[in-house]
Homo-oligomer: A and B are copies of this chain.
Amino acid sequence: MSVTVITTLLGMGRWEPDARGRMIGAAMELFAERGFEQTTAGDIAERAGVSERTFFRHFADKREVLFDGSEAMERTAYDAILAAPADHSPLDAALAGMVAAGGLLEDRRDHAVRRSRIIAANPSLQERELLKLAAMVDTTAKALREREVTELNASLAAHSAVTVFYVAFAGWVSDEESPGFAACIAETAAALRALK
């Protein structure tokens, strides 16, 4: 998914185009260069050529600039779960959603890797990532409920699927020659099911 496309369609950044994308790029550069806490919101705005106030109009807080695509991933997972074959078990349907969401990452592996490194280096960014994963759990559970899955089973399958997503992502990122995100998810899901 291209931030440029979205912002252009929304008509944002009318002066220099893609102010939002410039802020995201500037933030990732600065966070990587000198760390998250050593970077002020003013620093990011300056490098992106906007005012600090404009930064906070685009992003609810300083951390949010790193999580721009999370909504799109949720929607993708949601749609894929509803589109999964009716005979899929709740867990399989949820995993299909994770594979679909992972596809968005696969398109920009380099970006995903750099981003995950930045997050790994700062606890307050990890905190925000956990919140996004929790939102993914909620969305996944909601999709499962629309497939007539029990409240409890929807919650458990959603948690399990997002756990698989999370663990598989770590493997996919760490292994340079990894076979692809879908394969990582399949492996991880198999290991989860093998748990006694």
Chain A residues at the B interface, C-beta cutoff of 8 Å: 89-92, 123, 126-128, 130-131, 133-134, 152-153, 155-157, 159-160, 163, 166-167, 188, 191-192, 195-196
Copies, count: 2
Which residues of B sit under 8 angstroms from A89, Cβ to Cβ?
A: 195-196
Closest beta carbon of chain B to A123's beta carbon, Å: 7
Contact A156 to B91, CB < 8 A, known contacts A127-B131, A134-B126: no
Bound-complex Cα distance A182 to B155 (A): 19
Q: Given the complex, which residues of B lie within 8 Å of A167, measured CB to CB? A: 152, 155-156, 159
A73 CB to nearest B CB, Å? 17
Q: How far is the CA of A133 from the CA of B166 in the complex (A)?
A: 15
The verdict on A90 contacting B195 (CB below 8 Å), with A156-B167, A167-B155 known, is yes
- Additional 17 contacts, C-beta under 8 A, given A130-B131, A130-B133: A89-B195, A90-B196, A91-B195, A92-B196, A127-B128, A127-B130, A130-B130, A152-B167, A152-B191, A153-B191, A153-B195, A156-B188, A156-B191, A156-B195, A160-B160, A160-B163, A160-B195
CB neighbours (8 Å) of A159 from chain B are 163, 166-167
A128–B196 alpha-carbon span in the complex (Å): 31
19 A-B pairs whose Cβ atoms sit less than 8 Å apart in the complex: A90-B195, A90-B196, A91-B195, A91-B196, A126-B131, A127-B130, A130-B133, A130-B134, A153-B191, A155-B167, A156-B163, A156-B167, A156-B191, A156-B195, A157-B195, A159-B167, A160-B163, A160-B195, A163-B163
**Bound Cα distance from A123 to B152, whole angstroms:** 23
Question: A192 contacts B123, CB within 8 Å?
Answer: no
Interchain nearest-CB distance for A98 vs B (Å) = 14
Q: List residues of chain B with CB within 8 A of the CB of A123.
A: 131
CA distance A171 to B127 in the complex (A): 25
Contact A160 B127 (CB under 8 A): no
